Amino acid sequence: MREEMVRMGVQELKTVAEVDAALGDPRGTTLVFVNSVCGCAAGSARPGLSLALQHGNRPQRVVTVFAGVDLDAAARARQYFSDYAPSSPSLALFSDGEVVHFVHRHQIEGRGPQDIARTWLRRSTNSAQPVRFDVSGHVFHPGHSELHGITVVLETTGDVLYVGRYHEETDRGVLLHDVAEHRKETGGLPREEFIARTLKFGVRPQHQHLVVPREVVGRISKLAEW
């Protein structure tokens, strides 16, 4: 996983000092790739990044931190784009110290490397708008449900809406991981604004694991398709 990044010509940042040295200078363009041991990093994000970096129009600096491995370095890097919820893999593009483009895990899940490279090249200018992918039918985890490992929006038959990573559906209900919830009665953001902010800034989990009972499960859709 590390060697793959080095072969791309990406600079590894393993310590807080290395992160500050790379990101403390705001001049120019810097791409930060948050690496991960998960399947979507191996099958989609790293190959997609490799294809994108073969294009002539690449950032001046390309660096990476390894979430779950170099903990302090990853935590420090995330402080530079703290408006966005932590997710891995993910990608942040800086221009003169400002985040102009951010790709969350939910915008990577289930996509093929070519799709990801094409989208990154199209969007990694100075656009801060959320990336939206066309459905390609790529299977994220062969042998499982098409939605396994994908961040979904689960609408219930009541007033509650959940956003989290789909694991499976059993007789008990739908199991989600890293789940944010929206309830109409709390008086917070309207549902549409809640989803729009989640698309842009990422999922901020309130539950690590959650089973939504089958009898209240309504529509399930991919967050990236909203």
Instruction: Please give the Cα distance from 89 to 102 (Å, whole number).
Output: 11
Token pair of 16 as six digits:
């807080």
Closest to 41 (Cα-Cα) out of 19, 68, 22: 68
Token pair of 63 as six digits:
């660096």
Token pair of 54 as six digits:
């073969």
Closest to 79 (Cα-Cα) out of 19, 131, 127: 19
Question: Is 173 within 8 Å of 211 (Cβ atoms)?
Answer: yes
Q: Identify whether 89 is a catalytic site residue.
A: no
Given 10, 23, 31, 40, the catalytic residue: 40
Longest dimension (CA), the chain: 55
Q: Identify whether 190 is a catalytic site residue.
A: no
Q: Is 216 left (phi over 0), alpha (psi -120 to 50) or beta?
A: alpha
Q: In this structure, is the dihedral angle defined by the CA atoms of residues 191, 193, 199 and 205, taken in order, positive or negative?
A: negative
Given 32, 38, 154, 179, the catalytic residue: 38
Residue that the structure tokens 């959320």 belong to: 130
Question: Is 65 within 8 Å of 32 (Cβ atoms)?
Answer: yes
Catalytic center residues? 38, 40
